[in-house]
Amino acid sequence: ALSENPDVDDVIFVSPRGEVTESTRANVVIRKGTRLFTPRAESGLLKGTFREKLIREGKIEEARLTVGDLLSADEVFLVNSVRKWIPAVVVGVDSRVKARQADEESPFLSSIQKTIET
């Protein structure tokens, strides 16, 4: 999928039940207003260590997320223990959700950086 789409950096997986799970190298977090959500563990994702830490600290909440939630989110982030928070943009949806790193910094992320970067 990535070689066929040069504007795509990553692919976000969706379970057979229609739930967003994760990307090829990160967990997914969406922002709706001032709340941050990540797919629930029951969706079939691999629980990343950084994701688990953010949940334990109450910085993100688990929820059932669909492709519609990704498309209507105020922001989408890919998170992992190496790169931390990567603002992302959904660039296509067919049998997979395609994403790329956002061109601009996230004002929301910048405003709360000290509380979530730990």
Q: pLDDT value at position 112? A: 65
- Domain assignments of the chain as residue spans, ordered by start: 10-116
Where are the strands (E) in the chain, listed by range?
10-14, 20-23, 27-32, 35-39, 61-63, 75-80, 84-93, 97-101
- Residues above pLDDT 70, as percent of the chain: 78
pLDDT for position 42: 87
| CATH number for domain 10-116, candidates 3.20.10.10, 3.40.640.10, 3.40.30.10, 3.40.50.300 | 3.20.10.10
pLDDT at 1 over 60: no
pLDDT at 117: 58
Q: What pTM was estimated for this model as a whole?
A: 0.81
pLDDT average, residue stretch 103-112:
71
